[in-house]
């Protein structure tokens, strides 16, 4: 059917379709305005064995915030900081404003807000150096990397995800106000996916290359999710119910991507753009056939394609991807890029590639190494930031994130 209210602009239409007086916009008369239907009231749990924000169905917006701890930071000051921030997060995620919040109304629509804490090397060294996982250090250098230090590492991560950008902005402000005597912002990476209701439920996200992105991933509930993310029956987790985050900021050059035609684009990944089906199949979730040959005897899915290169048969080398798009302002009239990112023409775009796994060195690095050696997609993508964080377990009511480590 037609978009409800589309084209209805006159006052005369008010009685027919209902009128939002403040804005003069037409409303869908069949819309359900009950609290039960209000997406903004949906909450994700904060307390529990594991932190939310990893297995959580990805929310529409994200802010990955890296903090640098102040020079004089100590184990004790870090504990106080985590106590305060955990209390803030426990309230905000449940739609409650912390007591002193000067804009408490902005907490009223939690919209599935999650706040996930991660520890960088310095935070772990302060908390308990003996329990710092061995992998908590910069990843090995890759040839494709063009890392800019301003997007690298950080001492403490706050990963905020939320279906409402205004709620997210307020939560970010509260958490940063409360961390200001302990730490300074190193970087903030804002990301987005489709807004709630924009796409059919359950549809795999697309990235800004237009690709269906996230088809083959050990999703929560799938057999290998537990093992990949939490390291059960296989390799030792660094801590029970904790995991790791590898955060790669990857520039996507839309300007040169524009120059590639559809066959070249599909060849580079090994999947069709229209529906994400493998080049050897007809539906997104069809199993790719890497043996199939075309009329000239070449593999249908090229050996240099992204899915061929990133695919592994080793169950110990799998990762869980939960990625977000980024899209920043481009060059201003003076020709200067406002953000200083690699900026080609009319786009400053990429992926906030968030990868969760029990052990980055055993799981993420072998895949990245293979992609570094050969991956046609590298023609258009450049890693420009890299960070690794230990994600501690969740906390119970009254506790704080990381309390089991102090
Ligand atoms: C699959 C895009 C970077 C690992 C895919 C697919 C696309 C894609 C379109 C196919 C659909 C799917 O299964 O999700 C991109 C883009 C990247 C990027 C645009 C950079 C901007 C990476 C990186 C890694 C990675 C850095 C890991 C180091 C994977 C894996 C798969 C995959 C493991 C699934 C392979 C399989 O079928 O088994 N990616 N990717 N990707 N990608 Fe990437």
Please tell me if the CB atom of residue 207 comes closer than 6 angstroms to any atom of ligand 1.
yes
- How far away, in angstroms, is 311 Cα from ligand 1 center? 9
User: 284: which residues sit within 8 A by CB, 6+ positions away?
Assistant: 204, 212, 215, 275, 276, 277
If one residue of 306, 362, 374, 375 were mutated to test the ligand 1 pocket, choosing by the most ligand atoms within 8 A of its CB, it would be 306
- How far away, in angstroms, is 292 Cα from ligand 1 center? 21
Q: What is the pLDDT of residue 334?
A: 59
Please tell me if the CB atom of residue 174 comes closer than 6 angstroms to any atom of ligand 1.
no
Structural contact between residues 92 and 103, judged by C-beta atoms closer than 8 angstroms: no
Q: What is the pTM of this model?
A: 0.92
Q: What is the ipTM of this complex?
A: 0.99
Q: What is the pLDDT of residue 234?
A: 64
Please tell me if the CB atom of residue 325 comes closer than 6 angstroms to any atom of ligand 1.
no
- Which region, left, alpha or beta, applies to residue 284 given φ > 0 means left and ψ of -120 to 50 means alpha? alpha
Tens place of pLDDT for every residue, the chain, 406 residues? 344 444 444 444 444 455 555 565 666 777 777 888 899 999 999 999 999 999 999 999 999 999 999 999 999 999 999 999 999 999 999 999 998 999 999 999 999 999 999 999 999 999 999 999 999 999 999 999 999 999 999 999 999 999 999 999 999 999 999 999 999 999 999 999 999 999 998 899 999 999 999 999 999 998 899 999 999 766 678 999 999 999 999 999 998 999 999 999 999 999 999 999 999 999 999 999 999 999 999 999 999 999 999 998 898 999 999 999 999 987 665 555 545 555 557 788 999 999 999 999 999 999 999 999 999 999 999 999 999 999 999 999 999 999 999 9
């Amino acid at each position: 059917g037609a978009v409800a209210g589309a084209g209805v602009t006159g006052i005369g239409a008010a009685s027919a379709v209902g009128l939002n007086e403040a804005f003069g916009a037409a409303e869908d008369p069949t819309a359900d305005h009950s609290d039960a239907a209000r997406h903004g009231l949906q909450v994700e749990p904060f307390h529990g064995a594991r932190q939310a924000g990893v297995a959580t169905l990805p929310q529409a917006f994200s802010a990955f915030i890296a903090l640098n701890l102040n020079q004089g930071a100590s184990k004790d000051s870090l504990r106080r900081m985590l106590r305060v921030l955990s209390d803030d997060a426990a309230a905000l995620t449940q739609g409650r404003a912390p007591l002193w919040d000067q804009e408490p109304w902005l907490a009223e629509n939690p919209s599935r807000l999650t706040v996930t804490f991660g520890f960088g090397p310095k935070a772990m060294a302060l908390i308990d150096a003996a329990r710092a996982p061995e992998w908590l250090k910069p990843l090995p250098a890759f040839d494709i990397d063009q890392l800019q230090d301003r997007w690298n590492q950080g001492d403490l991560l706050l990963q905020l995800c939320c279906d409402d950008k205004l709620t997210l902005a307020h939560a970010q402000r509260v958490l940063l106000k409360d961390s200001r005597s302990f730490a300074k912002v190193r970087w903030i990476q804002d990301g987005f996916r489709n807004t709630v209701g924009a796409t059919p439920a359950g549809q795999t996200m697309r990235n800004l290359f237009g690709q269906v992105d996230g088809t083959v991933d050990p999703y929560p509930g799938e057999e290998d999710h537990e093992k990949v993310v939490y390291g059960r029956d296989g390799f030792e987790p660094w801590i029970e119910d904790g995991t790791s985050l590898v955060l790669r900021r990857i520039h996507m050059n839309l300007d040169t991507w524009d120059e590639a035609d559809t066959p070249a684009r599909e060849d580079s990944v090994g999947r069709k753009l229209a529906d994400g089906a493998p080049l050897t199949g007809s539906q997104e979730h069809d199993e790719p056939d890497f043996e199939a040959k075309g009329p000239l005897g070449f593999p249908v899915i090229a050996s240099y394609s992204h899915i061929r290169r990133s695919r592994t048969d080793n169950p110990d080398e799998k990762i869980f991807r939960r990625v977000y798009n980024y899209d920043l302002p481009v060059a201003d009239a003076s020709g200067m890029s406002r953000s200083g990112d690699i900026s080609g023409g009319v786009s400053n775009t990429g992926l906030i590639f968030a990868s969760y796994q029990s052990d980055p060195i055993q799981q993420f690095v072998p895949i990245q190494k293979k992609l570094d050696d050969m991956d046609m997609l590298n023609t258009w993508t450049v890693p420009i930031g890299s960070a690794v964080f230990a994600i501690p377990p969740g906390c119970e009511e009254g506790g704080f994130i990381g309390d089991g480590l102090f």
